[in-house]
């Protein structure tokens, strides 16, 4: 899966949580600027885990911990790329 494909899927998932069209979420958007609340973040993470077949190390009680940077679209894409590479074959 290419970075562009991951980015497109991440944007689609975030847009769905925000009830927006994917075109309304920019590729460099910051999650907090989009207005995604903590429940929306958790639901988006579950959707990403399902979409990419990964397990995201994210603690909703400490969202700024470095295990997975959920602060922006680019950081999410990079984190997912890393998790896909680390995924057992």
Greater confidence (68 vs 66) lies with: 68
Q: What is the number of domains present in the chain?
A: 1
Strand partners, 30: 72
pLDDT of residue 68: 84
Q: Pull the structure tokens for residue 62.
A: 């400490």
Q: Please report, for the chain, how many H helices and E strands are present, in that order.
A: 4, 0
Residue bearing the bigger pLDDT, 62 or 37: 37
Q: How far is CA 36 from CA 19, 20, 88, in A?
A: 10, 11, 31
* 62: confidence class by pLDDT, cuts 50, 70, 90: low
Provide the domain limits for residue 51: 3-86
Query: Which CATH number does the domain housing residue 44 bear?
Result: 1.10.1200.10
């Amino acid at each position: 899966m290419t970075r562009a494909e991951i980015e497109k899927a991440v944007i689609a998932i975030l847009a769905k949580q925000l009830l927006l069209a994917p075109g309304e979420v920019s590729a460099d958007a910051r999650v907090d600027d989009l207005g995604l609340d903590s429940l929306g973040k958790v639901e988006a993470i579950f959707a990403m885990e399902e979409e990419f077949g990964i397990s995201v190390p994210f603690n909703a009680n400490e969202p700024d911990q470095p295990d997975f940077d959920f602060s922006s679209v680019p950081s999410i894409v990079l984190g997912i790329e890393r998790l896909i590479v680390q995924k057992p074959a």
